[in-house]
Structure 1
Amino acid sequence: MCLYIGRVAGEHQHTHAVSVNADRRLLTAALCLIVAYMAGEVVVGVFASSLALLSDAAHMLTDAASIVLALIAMRLAARPPRGSFTYGLRRVEILSAQANGLTLLLLAVWLGYEAVRRLIEPPPVAGGLVLGTALVGIVVNLVATWLIGRANRTSLNIRGAYQHILTDLFAFVATAVAGAVMLFTGFDRADGIATLVVVALMAKAGIGLLRDSARIFLEAAPAGTDTGALGERLAGCDGVAEVHDLHLWTITSGEPALSAHVLVRPGYDCHRVRREMERLLREEYQVDHSTLQVDHQPAAAAPAAEPYCERSHGPVHRPAR
């Protein structure tokens, strides 16, 4: 039996560490900008009696929380594996993404209720203050979006934070439009309508984060990867008789991993077959971490025989005849 675990080269790890440090600086700068503006927006929102501004501030609070969680998760994920945590703490990032998504949905429910109530009985709103604050918010979010957009968005946390800031940008545009409508027409219900737009964007972002993080926790294959086709490609490698116990999952954002049991036909070099399969996984599926258990097929085994393992997990893949 030939057992091999694919590893990431040291040079790649060094480059990744440099990238993480740069990401931290970019996220910290965006966090400071968001928190400073959010505090001012709450004051103006209360003074102007604008739920749209307060909903924008609430969304910015979740943005700030997501960035803080991302920074904490990045620090914890950098710790080396030890003890019973054989993968280290890299999935802390996914936990923070789930918490962030759930918070977004809870805020969307509360703000949606308040928006409907204000549509029924709209209070007077200072449209000029709403418009001015929203225009400043657009500028602030453009800068924050640019900062986070430069970070590594293969991370679920960073991608989530980026989506949130982008959502805020659209929300501020909606709030600015509502402020202009209230200022020039006196239609106070525009504040509640703008809030519902923000609620829809928050719900969309929250559901997306929960869905993506749940896929990782349930150890589903990376989105867009056809595991059946992958198994057929591996079984089609020269010298392969059968591939079973094929598992493809994601350790954390951007880190897919694969394990499989491979049977090689008699007379073939199992090491050469294993190297060919690793090359295929790396170049076609971007899987750098693979664990392949390679055995020689018993000489008496027929191509259509029962699986080599008594309790094989998942479908069996054999070369096309």
Structure 2
Amino acid sequence: MHDHAPDAAGIRGASNRRLLAISLGITAIVMVVQIVGAVLSGSLALLADAVHMFTDGAALVIALVASIVAARPANDRRTFGYQRAEVFGALVNGVILLVLAVGIAVEGVRRLADPGPEEVAGTLMLVVAVIGFVANAAALWLLSAAQKRSINVRGAYVEVLGDLLGSAAVIVAAIVIVTTGWTAADAVASLFIAAMIVPRAIALLREVVSVLAESAPRGMHVQEIREHLLRATGVVDVHDVHVWQLTRGAPVFTAHVVVEDEVLRDGGSGALLSELQGCLADHFDVEHSTFQLEPAGHAEHEPHA
């Protein structure tokens, strides 16, 4: 993860940790407002959205802690540092989302099957839902830039997006209740919130699994990289290629490069290494690359080649 100082982007240019902290504050305040509103209005959808925001608040705490841990420098035991902490934080977030979806769905079905005598105060429900929608929109805007470079912030962004959609669903349900008196719209909105959580959680968990399985980053093709490297002067072959990512936006690359004997004999190894690393950095945004330069015929002595 890369933290950046504030820049021309304004408050969105703040570091990931600062953005997560601001989003956490917004989430906590709105959560309290929604809980109070749910109790006073009797709205299950509002309560479900409040529970969702409570879970997101916990997820933001996890993300914030993970970002602090990830900033720790590398050492002799953690040679790549602690950037994978972001991935584990995203994993916890995804699991929380799935558990939340099941809980909301069960309660929503129960309310539809047995509505009970409870009345829903649609007007109060609507006011609180609008407040939640505006706050979630602000938090989403804050995280929109940082989520593109950090899987950890991406997890928080996805959850805030879910909150925004949840608030929109509650607003629609409240309008239906106010205009028609059909209180079952409250339970329907709760089921909608549960349904929209599942695919988001699965997508986040899929990305986490891809990182932990050390798969090549999406959009990065080994054959294309190999072809670029083969264009370098003196390169005969490229094999034993490995590319993975520590976390979103932190790809790592290693390869064995067979070079002409003249390059090694004339002391051109340093210049060739700089050219190869520059190729990866410029064309594929890979900042951490390792190459093993070897003469022709050396691969025959490698049992795994």
Is 1:282 aligned to 2:275, yes or no?
A: no
* Other-structure match for 2:9: none
Q: Distance in 1 between matches of 2:65 and 2:106?
A: 32
Contact 1:244 1:262 in 2 (8 A): yes
| Alpha-carbon contact 1:101-1:209 (below 8 Å) kept | yes
User: 2:5 — aligned with what?
Assistant: 18
RMSD: 2.2
Question: C-alpha displacement at 1:282, in angstroms?
Answer: 0.7
Deviation at 1:150, TM superposition (A): 5.2
Q: Is 1:55 aligned with 2:48? A: yes
Q: Distance in 2 between matches of 1:259 and 1:132?
A: 56
CA deviations over 1:222-248 (Å, ceiling 9, x no partner) = 111112222233234332222111100
Q: Which runs of 5+ in 2 are unaligned?
A: 7-12
Q: CA deviation at 1:156?
A: 0.8
For residue 166 of structure 2, the aligned residue among 162, 167, 171 is 171
- Determine the structure 2 residue equivalent to 1:44: 37
CA contact (8 A) 1:249 1:258 kept: yes
- Pick from 147, 156, 161 the counterpart of residue 151 of structure 2: 156
Match of 2:295 in 1: 296
User: What's the TM-score once normalised by structure 1's chain length?
Assistant: 0.84
1:272 Cα deviation after fit? 3.2
Per-residue displacement from partner, 1:196-242 (whole Å, max 9, x unpaired)? Answer: 22112211221121111111111111111112222233234332222
Relative to structure 1, is the Cα distance of residues 266 and 83 closer, same or farther in structure 2, using a 3 angstrom cutoff?
closer
1:160-207 Cα distance to aligned partner (Å, 9 max, x none): 212221221121111101011012112122112211221122112211
1:100 has 2:93 as partner: yes
Give the AA of the match of 2:294.
Answer: D
Aligned equivalents of 2:292, 2:26: Cα separation in 1:
51
Using the alignment, how far apart are the partners of 2:234 and 2:300 within structure 1? Answer: 17
Give deviations 1:79-131, integer Å, cap 9, x for gaps.
Answer: 11224211222211110100000000111011112222222233442222221
Pair 1:27–1:161, CA change in 2 (3 A): same
**For the residues of structure 2 that align with 1:282 and 1:250, how far apart are their CA atoms?**
14
Superposition deviation, residue 311 in structure 1: 1.3
Q: Contact 2:3–2:15 at 8 Å: present in 1 too?
A: no
User: Deviations 1:266-310 (Å, cap 9, x if unpaired)?
Assistant: 223333332222121111110010010101214xx8xxxx75522
Which of the numbers 229, 240, 243 marks the counterpart of 1:234?
A: 229
Partner SS, residue 18 of structure 1: coil
- Please give the alpha-carbon distance, in whole angstroms, between the structure 2 residues aligned to 1:110 and 1:307: 58
Q: What is the rounded CA distance, in whole Å, between the counterparts of 2:92 and 2:179 in structure 1?
A: 40
CA contact (8 A) 2:66 2:86 kept: yes
TM-score (norm 2): 0.88
Counterpart position of 1:4: none
Amino acid at match of 1:103: I
Give deviations 1:43-68, integer Å, cap 9, x for gaps: 22133222211111122122212221
Aligned residue runs from structure 1 range 139-288, under 5 A: 139-149=134-144, 151=146, 153-268=148-263, 269-288=268-287
Q: In the aligned structure 2, how far is the partner of 1:170 from the partner of 1:110?
A: 18
Q: Is the contact between residue 48 and residue 104 of structure 2 (CA under 8 Å) also seen in structure 1?
A: yes
SS at match of 2:247: coil
Cα shift at 1:149: 3.0
SS at match of 1:275: helix
- 1:18-66 per-residue CA deviation (whole Å, 9 max, x = no partner) reads 3696332232222112111202211221332222111111221222122
| Structure 1: tracts of 5 or more residues without a match | 1-12, 313-321
